[in-house]
Amino acid sequence: MERGESSTERSPINREHPPIDEAIALIVSEQTIAENVATLDTLTPAQLLAYTSDGLDPLTVLNPVTHSLAYLYFIGARSKDATASNGRHLFEMLSHFIQVFDPEQVQAAPARFTIIGKALLHLAKVLKQPLLPLQSFKTAIERFSLNHPTLTSLHAPFIRACISAKQYRFPLDLLNRDIEILDTTKNDINIQRFLEYYYYGAIVYIGNLNYDRALDFLSIVISVPTQKAISAIQVAAYKNFVLASLIVDGQVRTLPKYTAQGVEKFCRTQASAYLSLVKAFTETDLNMFHDVASKHSGIFEANKHMGLVKQCLQSLRRKVIKELTNVYITVGLNEMAEKIGGVTARELELILIEMINQKQVSATMSITEQHVKMVHFIDQPDKNEINLEDRIFNIAAINERVSIMNKLEGLNRDFQTKYMTLSANGGQLASASYDEDFDIAVDDDNKAFS
């Protein structure tokens, strides 16, 4: 029988639900990838969990390399349905599949590839091992994307899994590669997954104290063009943006010019407690900061932001110290600690040493014959001359960002027309909180707001 005749005779069956034996027979025959997709898409969830009439597990009949597409359907369905008793065995099978699958076949069913991420997360949950899926996630992304800088449907769940496992360094090599390809025809991605990738990526960078990179990621989330509604993840990003800006710059960074005015205005109305901290920085007032932090502590704790708020306090103390360099040439360490308030002389000494090492202030310290520790401030050279090279790099970074957002404009239109309109039933993630799951570990300071 000719192949064309066989395909013609099979087509009516494919539109129904072929018995599992027949479906597997079709798959292991010389069907094209497209024909295999058509066959597999007719199978019901129950059939994907079923055995053959001979009692054989389809996963033992199919080869994960030569039958990668079909194997993906079956292993994905079974892993999503795993229990604590069979979870380890299924994870080992799924992990092996991830290492050997044929990318060309798997790329023919991008929505099914997304199920790998769901399966890995489910297996980690039922086995109570949050570290378990991380390497498999990374391998799956690298092999599916062929190591190209493209966003896949597994990027966001992988980064979130790393955060849940508190492995903030593990995804850095992936995050440090800028996304250059956004292809919805080959990847099961939409605007929500795009936003989540950059938001969770920012959380990872914050966890690694790389605030500049975190601010870049957060600004992308906030600046994404929207239509009817603003995503809850953008509001969460703005709150983190305010805190990270205060930690790095002592003021809120200006968002890119292409950010919609309505987005920034709405985010500001939802982040009033956070913006109250900004006023304390503007007036360099530690007492005001303590009052605001105490007043809104419930909000900061609910959003798991107390760690970042404490780091803002440390940043404000540094700002106070910098301003004192304009007042004093030489000052006693104890007197300086009293002037700042809320910090002991020993704590202040450690802060000064760190600031000197980071070239945030120019100063030396000495001890008098009376054993009094003194701080001597030194005039710093003109920062305009020092930062010339930095400015050149900043201009290059801005040009690169404009290029990224130009690509995103086209991508966003595609998302909004093909997938969602960021409306109440679409991309507006009002039912999800993007702050409640994580907090960033920092040096604890129980006296910070006492």
Q: Pick from 134, 156, 178: which residue ends a domain?
A: 178
Instruction: Give yes or no: residues 321 and 339 share one domain.
Output: no
pLDDT of residue 258: 84
**In total, how many domains does the chain have?**
3
Instruction: Give yes or no: residues 106 and 208 share one domain.
Output: no
Which residues contact residue 271 at a Cβ distance below 8 angstroms, ignoring those fewer than 6 apart?
A: 235, 238, 239, 242
The pTM assigned to this predicted structure is 0.79
pLDDT of residue 159: 97
| pLDDT tens digits for range 259-295 | 888 888 999 999 999 999 999 999 988 889 999 999 9
In a domain, 251, yes or no: yes
CA distance 108 to 116: 14
Grade residue 433 by pLDDT with cuts at 50, 70 and 90.
very low
| pLDDT tens digits for range 163-203 | 999 999 999 999 999 998 888 889 999 989 999 999 999 99
Q: Pick from 178, 205, 225: which residue ends a domain?
A: 178
| pLDDT tens digits for range 23-55 | 999 998 878 999 999 999 999 999 999 999 889
CA distance 137 to 186: 18
Instruction: Give yes or no: residues 285 and 362 share one domain.
Output: no
Instruction: Give yes or no: residues 323 and 335 share one domain.
Output: no
In a domain, 399, yes or no: no
Tokens in use for 3? Answer: 């192949």
| pLDDT tens digits for range 410-428 | 555 544 443 333 333 333 3
Is the confidence at residue 383, as pLDDT, over 70?
no
Instruction: Give yes or no: residues 115 and 169 share one domain.
Output: yes
Instruction: Give yes or no: residues 316 and 344 share one domain.
Output: no
Instruction: Give yes or no: residues 219 and 157 share one domain.
Output: no
Torsion-angle region of 304 (φ positive above 0: left; ψ -120 to 50: alpha; else: beta) = left
Instruction: Give yes or no: residues 139 and 63 share one domain.
Output: yes
Instruction: Give yes or no: residues 134 and 31 share one domain.
Output: yes
The chain-wide mean pLDDT, for the chain, equals 82
How many angstroms from the chain centroid is the CA of residue 332? 45
Q: Pick from 327, 342, 365: which residue ends a domain?
A: 327
In a domain, 183, yes or no: no
CA distance 177 to 188: 20
Instruction: Give yes or no: residues 141 and 83 share one domain.
Output: yes
CA distance 35 to 148: 27
Task: Provide the H-helix boundaries in 325-446.
Answer: 333-340, 345-357, 383-386, 388-418
Torsion-angle region of 189 (φ positive above 0: left; ψ -120 to 50: alpha; else: beta) = beta
Tell me the residue range of the domain where 364 lies: 328-377
CATH number at residue 339: 1.10.10
Instruction: Give yes or no: residues 66 and 169 share one domain.
Output: yes
Instruction: Give yes or no: residues 143 and 23 share one domain.
Output: yes
